[in-house]
Structure 1
Amino acid sequence: MKNLIYLSAFVSGGAVMILEIMATRIIEPFLGNSIFTWIGVLSVMLASLSVGYFFGGKMADKEPRPTHVGWIFLFSGFLIASIPLFSFPILNFSQFFGIMYGPIFASLLLLSLPSISLAMISPYLIKLSAKKTSQIGAASGNIYALSTVGSILGTLLTGFCLIPNFGVKTTLFWLSIVLIANGALFFGRKGMLPFLIGLIINSAIPQPMNFPVSSNERLLYENHSLYQYLRVVDSGEVRFLSVGYAAQTGILLNSTDNLYGYQRYQKLIHFLNPNITKALFIGLGGGAMPSYMHRETDADITVVEIDPEVVRVAKKFFNFSEDGRMRVWIDDGRLFLTNSNEKYDYVAVDAYLNFIPPFHLTTLEFVDAVKKHLTPNGVVLVNILSPVEGEKAGVFKALFKLYKNKFKNVYVFPLHNTNLTRRQNIIMIATDFDYGGREGLLSAVKLCNDAETQELATHYYDGAINTDSYPLLTDDFSPLEILALGSLSE
């Protein structure tokens, strides 16, 4: 019995951490992978564990039977196997509460019962392990030590093996089977019957959990990578790449053009610095930005993308390819800059997790690193998703203030300058060139004799941008998710 008790402590500890990490993956496609998702999951898990420890201790003192532990394991397995069945309606409804409170609501409904059930196991195991009152300290230490070791290994196994190789649904299914098998051991020779019954019931539970596809859509690809949930869908004549719940890019199937057209603003980059020989892109997505620069110039292009699965998707579904002038590095953009001594004529920052850029790519320290890697005439382009004006324009104004702190001139080009209070792509170009504001820039562009460049320049925004009430984003203080709440509520 002692070996079974120790095994159970190890398994239950591992199950808690696997469930916790998988929960963030389940919630991310609907509510994003922001700090609010982690806050929601962690707070609900901790609250549920405390409830489980409390009631588990009460029940263990009242009637500490080994078969009770077996039933708790079986019940935990059923609850975890049921998560995919209920996740879509719960998560879809949780979007009503927004990215701040939605994860808490979703976690309460999806995680509280299995977490409470798993937490009830440890008090039972301590009670069964301690034969005398004088042994309670040692028994508690052994159970918690083994449970913690299980949690450590469960964390490592989930991150390095289960998510990249098996995905969420398969992992939850086999986790539930392991729990049911562990529970069956507490019934001794009679345990085969509960195990078989549990296996049959578990296998009969549907595992939908995918986003539904409408009648005019065709799902081409869906996967949880190491970093995010990716999905490729054809809808009519358009192919979309979604990261989480956000459509990150789209292409027209009957042409090579990007649906949104923001990559065309790189013509202005070529105008500001016509002698671009080396370009760096931080973030790949579908590859529209670097592919456009590759077609329009002879520059040597380096793309830094943290997620290798994004690179595979871009090549397979979005016509992206590497060659002698276009190379992809699998790395974090900021870490790449830290380890590189190269200088670039042009740097494009277009990295997003859902609708929010990673915070460490939006701080003063990051912009300082970018500028150190620019040639004297270098230009930076930042793709921002935000309103330009109004109370929901926090992300844009904070990033404008950030780049204005390091560059003499920051030019702003909204894609839809007729409605500046709507969330849209904003191309922000930072440089130490000075063309004297809107009129100076337009006058200079007229000399280039390129109609498209001249048309793009007319999108220049010269309205007053008051950033006094917005913080200067730093590694120490970067409330980017809070600033994004307004625009994400649209």
Structure 2
Amino acid sequence: MDSRFFPERWPTRPETAVFVSGVTSMGLEILAGRILAPEFGNSIYTWGGIIGVFLAALSLGYHRGGKRAATSASHGRLVGVFLATALYVAGVVLLGDLVVQSTGVLPLPSQFASLPAITLLFGPPTYLLGYVSPYAAELAGGDVGATAGHVYAVGTVGSIVGAFATTYLLVPLLSVPQIGLVLGLSAVLAAAAVAAPALDGTTGIRVGVVALALVAATATGGLGPGVGGDVVHAEQTAYQELRVVDRGDTRTLYLDGQPHSAMALDDPTRHVFEYTRYFHASMLFADETDDVDRVLFVGGGGFTGPRIFHETYPNVTVDVVELDPAVVDAADEHFGIPDSPRMNVHVGGGRQYLAETNRTYDVIVLDAYRKDTVPFQLTTVEFMRLAAERLDEDGVLVANLISAPSGPASEFYRAEYKTMRQVFPRVYSFPTAGGPVVQNIEVIATKDDALLTREELQARSERRDVGIDLSSDLSSYRTDEPTDDVPVLRDDRAPVDSLLDGAVGQRYVRVRANETNGTVAGDRTSLREPRLRATA
């Protein structure tokens, strides 16, 4: 056999240490995004904070480790660094959710809200891993330049392996605590490898105790308040944490800890959340309900809206675009996607689908979210032009937004309203909760420049059969919003995150529909769903 295909020697203990430190640090960085997303989302601020804290902690570790390496570097100290790192990871698994929720209530602007949690949870273990490279370089000896280059190369290879392994193996297959267990055990195994062949006595006991601590922390699933109910299904998808939870007579789909769809188990076609009722209002803006024969939903979730449309309008074909294939599978298994030629599911990005399809629609419903934020690429004027091109001449666009209709928390809503007005002659909105609170606001845009008044809509509601009585819903009608102080959102500048700063710390009021035979009975009630903790 050609020896070039086989290593000439086993990795040395310093090489093993540097490689594993790279694997572990990069794995923790990706895990940080999963732990923080349910509370802080996946915004540029969250990921910028993660990257910044990790780099700062590593740099400090490199600096302090380099100063101590000449006098303190030893295999025993490397063992201690890895065991301390693994023990801290056990603490992250056990207490991470408590730390995230506790720091999430601090009165900080949204740009900086995640920084305390990132620093407390991931600063110390990353700082400790920073000691590994200078210690390993000192222990490896030899020419300083050659040794330093070799250490950096091995560490970088470890980081590459950690990035790909965590992204493509651990996240799709394991829960957040299990990923923490794997990364923590990698540090424990590195400690054992560095200690060998003297892995006995006190060192062996320390390695065993830390390994047991990791297993125990993972077995608890983490401490922290959770959502009551029975977890029917849970998984880490390529995009988010997904859970299906039954509570009472309601089944809810949670994505990154936030409720995205809900279904009444005793009547799957009944609206659970009030905002989904407004999807039917699109039929009132069309010339005639009978003329609507094809509807597109961008964002599937639990497919509750698409399914209700499919069942309510027997002549309508419903297309649904959902980015996450795991969401489609969960919706099919636990919510029931109709097996019908009038229900078509497309897996992919909504904007990409609209750019590639030649089909036009009578109604397009935008209901895609990451946590409680619309992906910025679905908010811009360029996207609105694309959506308008895919609408028939009398087509209607419905956008579900989470914002406030007025006050400091209304900037995103008013910016989106202004953006849609750049493309559509008429834009209407319907807040679902009343008052200046953060809530679902349904924004409806039409290509028809004739203004439909509230009274004309009420008259159409009385004349047309759209499946439910919308008379009370239409009372929240708004038009001609003030937009002078907000920007038009564009592909090259769509500051969605900063526009939502005013909503930080405000209560998000999600209204439950109280329906009896298709009508709203009684007063609306506000609901604030507790966050689902990111553990198994």
Measured at CA, do residues 91 and 394 of structure 1 come closer, stay the same or move farther in structure 2, by a change above 3 Å?
same
Partner Cα separation in structure 1 for residue 341 and residue 66 of structure 2: 65
Contact 2:98 2:224 in 1 (8 A): no
Which AA in structure 2 matches 1:286? G
Contact 1:268 1:457 in 2 (8 A): no
Where does the alignment leave 5 or more consecutive residues of structure 2 unmatched?
1-9, 507-536
Match of 2:120 among 81, 90, 109: 109
Match of 1:427 among 420, 435, 442: 442
Measured at CA, do residues 2 and 144 of structure 1 come closer, stay the same or move farther in structure 2, by a change above 3 Å?
same
Partner Cα separation in structure 1 for residue 370 and residue 192 of structure 2: 42
Which AA in structure 1 matches 2:303? G
Which AA in structure 2 matches 1:470? V
Which AA in structure 2 matches 1:386? S
Deviation (angstroms), 1:446: 5.5
Measured at CA, do residues 21 and 454 of structure 1 come closer, stay the same or move farther in structure 2, by a change above 3 Å?
closer
Partner Cα separation in structure 2 for residue 195 and residue 438 of structure 1: 78
Match of 1:448 among 463, 468, 476: 463
1:339: which partner in 2?
356
Between the two structures, name the one with larger relative contact order (CA 8 Å, sep ≥ 6): 2
Partner Cα separation in structure 1 for residue 176 and residue 283 of structure 2: 44
Contact 1:265 1:456 in 2 (8 A): no
TM-score by length of 2: 0.85
Match of 1:375 among 386, 392, 406: 392
Partner Cα separation in structure 2 for residue 375 and residue 434 of structure 1: 14
Where does the alignment leave 5 or more consecutive residues of structure 1 unmatched?
none
Deviations 1:325-352 (A, max 9, x none): 1121111111222222222222111001
SS at match of 1:281: strand
1:130: which partner in 2?
141
Partner Cα separation in structure 1 for residue 373 and residue 431 of structure 2: 17
Deviations 1:222-275 (A, max 9, x none): 332211122333333333222223222323333221211323223322233332
Contact 2:21 2:129 in 1 (8 A): yes
Match of 1:473 among 489, 493, 502: 489
Establish whether residue 330 from structure 1 lines up as the match of residue 347 from structure 2: yes
Q: Which segment is superposed worse, 152-161 or 437-446?
A: 437-446
Contact 1:64 1:128 in 2 (8 A): yes
Partner Cα separation in structure 1 for residue 417 and residue 500 of structure 2: 14
Aligned pair count reads: 484
Deviation (angstroms), 1:307: 1.1
Deviation (angstroms), 1:399: 1.0
Contact 2:428 2:479 in 1 (8 A): no
Give the RMSD, CA atoms, in angstroms.
2.3
Which AA in structure 1 matches 2:294? K
2:130: which partner in 1?
119
Which AA in structure 1 matches 2:366? V
Establish whether residue 304 from structure 1 lines up as the match of residue 313 from structure 2: no
Q: Write 1 or 2 for the structure with the bigger share of helix.
A: 1
2:516: which partner in 1?
none
Which AA in structure 2 matches 1:42? I
Contact 1:264 1:292 in 2 (8 A): no
SS at match of 2:102: helix
Partner Cα separation in structure 1 for residue 223 and residue 490 of structure 2: 37
Partner Cα separation in structure 2 for residue 356 and residue 462 of structure 1: 22
Partner Cα separation in structure 2 for residue 302 and residue 195 of structure 1: 60
Match of 1:226 among 230, 235, 238: 238
The within-5 A match list for 1:264-413 is 264-273=277-286, 274=289, 275-297=291-313, 298-413=315-430
Measured at CA, do residues 59 and 303 of structure 1 come closer, stay the same or move farther in structure 2, by a change above 3 Å?
same
Deviations 1:122-147 (A, max 9, x none): 0111122232xxx2111111111121
SS at match of 2:66: helix
The within-5 A match list for 1:47-196 is 47-97=56-106, 99-131=110-142, 135-191=143-199, 194-195=203-204
Contact 1:343 1:373 in 2 (8 A): yes
Partner Cα separation in structure 1 for residue 428 and residue 415 of structure 2: 15
Q: Which segment is superposed worse, 450-459 or 173-182?
A: 450-459
Identity %: 30
Which AA in structure 2 matches 1:433? D
Contact 1:15 1:175 in 2 (8 A): yes
Deviation (angstroms), 1:387: 1.4
Deviations 1:285-319 (A, max 9, x none): 12121112111222222111111221222223333
1:246: which partner in 2?
258
Deviation (angstroms), 1:78: 1.9
Contact 2:23 2:161 in 1 (8 A): yes
1:485: which partner in 2?
501
Partner Cα separation in structure 1 for residue 145 and residue 226 of structure 2: 55
Deviation (angstroms), 1:195: 4.7
Partner Cα separation in structure 1 for residue 189 and residue 223 of structure 2: 27
Measured at CA, do residues 437 and 390 of structure 1 come closer, stay the same or move farther in structure 2, by a change above 3 Å?
farther
Partner Cα separation in structure 2 for residue 460 and residue 433 of structure 1: 21
TM-score by length of 1: 0.92
